[in-house]
Structure 1
Amino acid sequence: MPPDCKAKRTRPLSPNIQIYRPQLTSVLSIANRITGVVLSAGAVGLVIWLVAAAAGPQPYAAVQGAIGSWVGKVVLFGCTFAFFLHLCGGIRHLVWDTVHGYELRSIYISGWAVVIASVVLTVAAWVASFFVAG
């Protein structure tokens, strides 16, 4: 095109981008992938803790001090929640593998059940840990 014929063109925006609202199913799908990554990092942390325990009292005390700090407890709480969210999501997928629960109402009920069960199990695990430790 000759330079004098070029009209200013604006790229049209998709209306879907402007009106899209994340759905529970898509949020849980993304959360399942994120929790898998968090659990992998948590597994590395577990190995570090075990190696420190095998290395002797001083390395173990250092790692235990980091875990016992408020930041360490927040990370442990996050890892616990990630574990239960990933576990409950996996159970939901196992049910789907039996070709059950594909109705829209069932999908949302099971999705909210995963979220609620993850929260309840996380809190229960932490409450139980205080009774065992204290």
Structure 2
Amino acid sequence: MMNELSLDKKLIVFLLKILHTSVLIFTLTGWLLPNKLLLIYLVWIPLMVIQWQLNQETCILTNQENYLLGETNKQKSEQQGQFVKSLFLNLCGFVPADNFLKYLIYFTIFSCWSIGGYKFYLYYYGY
């Protein structure tokens, strides 16, 4: 399907994948930001999760990639976690079950966000 796309669409899909990867890296490592910038991270994570909830647990970047690839008629279950599934497949050679993946994603995000919140609390309240 990708070889049928125009060069412009291929470039946009490539840039979306870079953006998506950057968002993932920020989500996992944002708690490492300097203390004065932690508020950005602490606001970002809930907004990202709310966006997922409002978009049937699918990232808007995944929606854009699917649209550009002409894959807009995929079933909801196939779209959920599509980006993370592709990472698992490329890095580990397998894709975990949807339910496991969902809980793993939320647990990891909540853990990273909690570390950031604790770091923010310690910095601003001096403990």
Coarse TM-score class (shorter-chain normalised): 0.3 to 0.5
Q: Relative contact order, CA 8 A, sep 6+: which one is greater?
A: 2
Q: With structure 1 as the length reference, what TM-score do the two structures score?
A: 0.36
Higher Cα radius of gyration: 1
TM-score by length of 2: 0.37
